[in-house]
Structure 1
């Protein structure tokens, strides 16, 4: 467990910590972090998603296991949103993204690199399947929904922004190319691999800088959402597989994914769409820190 923590998990987490330290030391500014976040989100992440979705072997996916995990995500999101909206009294957009923070684990930028380092690409296939689900379905859903929530009735403007969103365009194009079995030219894959490699470190660093300006004191909302993420979702996944698929050999890595920290993209969407981050930011900090030991143990 200690080897996994020191050699696979902490090196990835270090980028977020470095951004946090540099932000507190004022050697990296909020404006620089927001610009870096925007570049990572709109420029570097699409190639990463393209490479993932076009290269995914759909025949190797255990669709029964993935479907069960997706149902757990839906249930956890509904419960978290209702908790944030009606018990913790957050406004609608913030409650929506806090619900996302519970189910949208940092698989693409955090768990996937760690699992690939430990198990190799073939062994990390269950994590890759979750990354594909989150990248193609969950992420698209949250981008579209927050567009409508933030659009406040401006249907034309909202649809226009969605049509120009490079992440949504990449998701649709990549899924279509995979389903049609269109061969991807190797130079294009090389470019996508080269650009996509920068998405995770730049996003984590930028998030660390922005987080450094927030209070990370675990207020009631932060504590409740963090607990729902770190305990509620893993317990829901463990219970669902114990009842419905106890012999499924993907359950352990699915549990690893469920135990991961809240996704950095929740924070990126909050920044891009002007949703307050006073609670979202500390949730990501606390789930990132508190999940270190549990991830090392489960891995």
Structure 2
């Protein structure tokens, strides 16, 4: 038990430090935005480039992991969207945005630090794989669905909305880092120390700064959308999403499409059990759902300490190694 808490505890302590830094007025919202921009535009792209470019492509891409993540998340989108439309009566745009909160995890700011503690050898690889699925498939799909809900989809065709979203995402430093690192990896070019060491330094900075930023953003968002309506979003993201991903991976194993790879499976479940990404309230505000999304993010992040800890306990067998009897 203490071993598990030693994994999740430090992560959430740093998040709490970020939260307190803003609440105590030690740092302003403007200063925090600078931290976030540094992590998102410089540190994480450096980490991704270093992770992909410094190893053979065969050691980076895991088709079975990406397929399970994509298939399970698409199923989660369908379930959460139908729930939001039929059960809670949200319109198309808000239903799509709530589905985003239940499906798109904080792979970079929270997921990577946890993965780095659990399995440092593949943590950066998992981050790259997650970013590809999220930025090429999940986020474009959900933003297109949300955009189509505006004016009953009359302003743009589905193709136009999807193209605009993909174009916008393709220009982000994270996707540019992935695009630039792939040719280097394929060519097998050794990275000069003069390049590799600065990238490594920036990658190391990304961990603490990311967690600090998450906590500070929670303080900035505040309790403006405080409502019980946040509970289904939190349950969907922290509990239902990892269960659906487990089913997706299990189905692939049962069909003989892949073998049970314990570290990859644990990484997949942890990804599903992460709270929503930090920009969730910002994107949601474009569809009059920002306050609710902000409070849902607070609930998810606070509750994820307990759900992630429980997940690690459940996947630990009597000998102390991961995976008990899942497969």
**For 1:18-167, what aligned pairs fall within 5 Å after superposition?**
18-60=17-59, 62-84=62-84, 87-88=87-88, 95-121=95-121, 125=122, 128-141=124-137, 164-167=171-174
Higher relative contact order (CA closer than 8 Å, sequence separation 6+): 1
Gaps in structure 1 of 5+ consecutive residues: none
- Match of 1:183, SS state, is coil
Deviation at 1:52, TM superposition (A): 2.5
Select which of 214, 229, 240 maps to 1:207. Answer: 214
* 1:248 and 2:255 matched: no
TM-score by length of 1: 0.78
Report the CA distance shift for 1:101/1:147 in structure 2 as closer, same or farther (over 3 A).
closer
Task: Give the aligned partner of residue 239 of structure 1.
Answer: 247
Deviation at 1:180, TM superposition (A): 3.7
Instruction: Look at both structures and tell me which one has the larger radius of gyration over its CA atoms.
Output: 2
Q: How many angstroms apart in 1 are the aligned matches of 2:91 and 2:190?
A: 46
Report the CA distance shift for 1:97/1:192 in structure 2 as closer, same or farther (over 3 A).
farther
* 1:289 and 2:289 matched: no
Report the CA distance shift for 1:112/1:42 in structure 2 as closer, same or farther (over 3 A).
closer
Which range is displaced more, 225-234 or 9-18? 9-18
Which range is displaced more, 217-226 or 83-92? 83-92
Deviation at 1:110, TM superposition (A): 2.3
- Match of 1:279, SS state, is helix
Report the CA distance shift for 1:166/1:237 in structure 2 as closer, same or farther (over 3 A).
closer
Task: Give the aligned partner of residue 324 of structure 2.
Answer: none
| Contact 2:15–2:212 (Cα < 8 Å) also in 1 | yes
| Contact 1:102–1:233 (Cα < 8 Å) also in 2 | yes
- Match of 2:191, SS state, is coil
Select which of 290, 293, 298 maps to 1:280. Answer: 293
Deviations 1:19-67 (A, max 9, x none): 2223223332222222322232223222122122323554245533431
TM-score by length of 2: 0.73
- Match of 2:188, SS state, is coil
* 1:3 and 2:22 matched: no
Q: How many angstroms apart in 1 are the aligned matches of 2:294 and 2:31?
A: 17
Q: How many angstroms apart in 1 are the aligned matches of 2:40 and 2:178?
A: 13
Number of residue pairs matched by the alignment: 293
Deviation at 1:184, TM superposition (A): 2.8
Select which of 262, 269, 291 maps to 2:276. Answer: 262
Deviation at 1:215, TM superposition (A): 0.7
- Match of 2:105, SS state, is coil
Deviation at 1:96, TM superposition (A): 4.0
Report the CA distance shift for 1:26/1:85 in structure 2 as closer, same or farther (over 3 A).
farther
What root-mean-square deviation, in Å, do the aligned CA atoms of Structure 1 and Structure 2 show?
Answer: 3.6
Q: How many angstroms apart in 1 are the aligned matches of 2:170 and 2:63?
A: 30
Q: How many angstroms apart in 2 are the aligned matches of 1:253 and 1:158?
A: 28
Task: Give the aligned partner of residue 315 of structure 2.
Answer: none
| Contact 1:19–1:207 (Cα < 8 Å) also in 2 | yes
